[in-house]
Amino acid sequence: MNIKMIVPKEEILKYIPQRQPFVMIDSLVNVEDDTVSSLFEIPVENPMVKEGYFRESGLIENIAQTAAAGVGYECISNNKPVVIGFIGSVKNLNTYRLPKPGDTLETNVKTISKIMNATIIKGVVKASGRTLLECEMNIFLQDR
């Protein structure tokens, strides 16, 4: 499957199970083979903003929600209900800098492997072309 698309902010909630104020992506900008990309402009009132910075936990959640939006896109494309996923583990976490409110996150998630309901992904979050955080995650999906 080689699909490029945009899911705008007004429609993103169809693709992810999260709801405000805990939504950490604005739009899905690319779905292609095993890669999903999103954008997120950090609002000042986001609960992950502390002491003027969007915290590491918010960046990790941004990666997880980008992966969830990719799964949601796949589900909707196949006329199936959107499934819920859970982070099982985070490993090889490297944080280089924290963004500020108003920054736009550019997040890329690549699926490394899928085994039954478990998926291993690698996520990279950038802002203004500079890498902020990267990690691998094990994500478990509820039975479809």
For the stretch 21-33, pLDDT in tens is 999 999 999 998 8
| pTM for the structure as a whole | 0.94
Which pLDDT score is estimated for 12? 96
For the stretch 88-138, pLDDT in tens is 999 999 999 999 999 999 999 999 999 999 999 999 999 999 999 999 999
Structural domains of the chain, ranges and CATH numbers in brackets: 2-141 (3.10.129.10)
Contacts of 107 (CB under 8 A, 6+ apart): 25, 37, 38, 39, 40, 62, 63, 66, 123, 124, 125, 126
How many angstroms from the chain centroid is the CA of residue 65? 3
The fraction of the chain above a pLDDT of 70, given in percent, is: 96
